[in-house]
Structure 1
Amino acid sequence: MRTLPHPCPRPRRRARSLGVLIATASAVAATALAAPGAASAATTTPVTSAPAPAAAARADSSAALPAHALVGYLHSSFANGSGYTRMADVPDSWDIINLAFGEPTSTTSGDIKFSLCPQSECPKVETEAEFKAAIKAKQAAGKKVQISIGGQNGQVRLATTAARDKFVSSVGAIIDRYGLDGLDIDFEGHSLSLNNGDTDFKNPKTPAIVNLISAVKTLKAKYGANFTLTMAPETFFVQLGYQFYGSGPWGGQDPRAGAYLPVIQALRNDLTLLHVQDYNSGPIMGLDNQYHFMGGADFHIAMTDMLLAGFPVAGNKNNVFPALAPSQVAIGMPASTHAGNGHTAPGEVNKALNCLTKKTDCGSYQTHGTWPALRGLMTWSINWDNFNGREFSKNFDTYFGRR
């Protein structure tokens, strides 16, 4: 048994068998699950002003993307009910293609491996030579192809410098082998958590977090300014940090709460895109100090507003997570009802985009700004979008007039 600061069960990002195993969000109030004697800091310390100024200039790698970009995950190493999609058959709508997934040989080894889905599991899989050629063709067409590390099954915990160094060398080997553009960090489950007493997101002390930051900076330095870096944390690891950070001042909270914040903070000048998974989530408190529930425009508006306005961490208005640049932010959504809990219908997707970029269709939530430069959307996944008649990608292209 564990004490959670928030009623969010561990989401399952993907399943290897037919159908997708999805987490069921609980509606229990988060404050009731705080450590004994603790109160919800965000509830007792409401926001009284716009949280933070805009972030610094975007990473150089962002400049090569279109003004509004579409990011998708390609099931390259496994099969499930969505069907296998060859790299050459990925539709042109996708601007960043994340190969899912590079996974470790063990949780703490740092040794990341990636290989194409075996033919016994994916009868339509291409050869490695065909796969590499298709990647080059996508890149020639202006697309970015990255290796995504982690996912539901790929727990990665870089607790030692040896694991850090192995992560750098093994991820670099995958990038070199396939000629990739960069890296997507999709650490889930127990990959990131904060040690007791690690309370300052601007100066983390937890080895697994410090080593991850160091490893990514090393890869960025190796490959240069055009190296793309994206992250796909869950709301539990980012927006929940408005209420709870780590195990808390009294202990007893889930130490994973807000645990991505120090990683994002340390890498914000290297970050191409942050696309939080606005799905498989429990209710999350927004800057209006109200709980928001996944599946409609309101959830995406409230969660994205937090990233674009900044927010006090654990309710401390003297300790603010600074806003990201709109060009560094995309919204993560499931491509279909099969892909994840919290699917958002196209009409609701468009309402969210209207609110954030035009300040129309906002409903009851009042954003802290208007951001026409919001970069775009991410989805799990390209395969599930194809399975669903490309509803997600076609709606994106229509909304932004790209097709």
Structure 2
Amino acid sequence: MTTQPDFDAIVIGGGPSGATAAHDLAVQGYRVMLLDKAGRIKPCGGAVPPRLLKDFDIPQSLLVAHAKSARIIAPSNKTVDMPVGDGFVGMVDRDVFDEWLRARAGDAGAMRITGTCEAVDDRADGMAVVSYREGRNAAAQTVTARCVIGADGARSRVAQQCIPGGDKMKCVFAYHEVVKVPDTITEDYDPARCDVYYQGHLSPDFYAWVFPHGETASIGLGSANKGFPLRETTRLMREQTGLSKWETLRKEGAPIPLKPLKRWDNGRNVLVAGDAAGVVAPSSGEGIFYAMTAGRMSANAVSEFLRTGDAKALKGARRQFMKAHGRVFWILGMMQFFWYRNDSMRERFVKMCADPDVQRLTWEAYMNKELVRREPKAHMKIFFKDLGHLIGLKPVKG
């Protein structure tokens, strides 16, 4: 290389994935720039498993609620309660949580810049050149780095410009409203329970939710149908659940990717992570844990690239992620394909979730973020139950 770059790595996007990658690289002593927009909060139920707190050293103080159960609601309005048992589902507010992660990256040594990326280009000597603006009317600035990590969301500009196939991301469109929970609750709402609605009129191909956040709650839904009226349906849902009079604090919408990209790097000096790489779990839409995991794996791959100069190291991020979580993503994708097709199938799905074996193994897989392999008999039992529901051999009523 003929000149020294401004940074070893530039991370574009300061959500959980980008902030984690920037932190991990800064801790290793690399010169890191973290470029992030200001004031944008992603619509998110905010659920995180206990494993996330341990893996990423997250303090309990960032949790605004501990959900001890989930209640799923069928098209017929029949409900199934799924108690977590001895564990819990942690709930975070993304505005506070994301900023804490960014601040931690800054404390580790990453240079934080508030601005918007406009382009990522190659230079003849192998450097990546990032053009950005710190404000809409501000002059464009450029910085150089040996490597760029794009963690700038499902409609990633970095992926579209630099990654083959990055412009073909299929997404669910999510929308939620954050409401203030009144001091006295007379509605059917439990501050320690996540409610999930599998009802076609609320979402034709995904689900709707009411998630507790301590003093607030997230009420929202998602659909891959671009013409589906998200805002109007959320209003109808609030009326249906009796929460229409609760004070609305803010409204947010954004695309959420449906499956991981087939490629995460450009073979030279750019890698994507988080939503930009498509790492949101099918069926559940869970993204925070997987985003942070991809961010850490991307940081490890970039560190290897910076150490060796071998761009093949960048491929390690996707390879490592898919080895750890690809099977779970495939199974969840099949579940979404089969069970979310119509209300008849949703009804059967909710019925199946009443099974104690299904509940126990579901929560164990969620808490540990891996398939539970030590009980083959239980898995075979669930497989045949699932198959029976799928082809209609088991009655919905009973």
Say yes or no: TM over 0.5.
no
Q: TM-score, normalised by structure 1?
A: 0.24
Q: If you compute each CA radius of gyration, which structure gives the higher value, 1 or 2?
A: 2
Give the structure with the higher percent strand: 2
Give the structure with the higher percent helix: 2
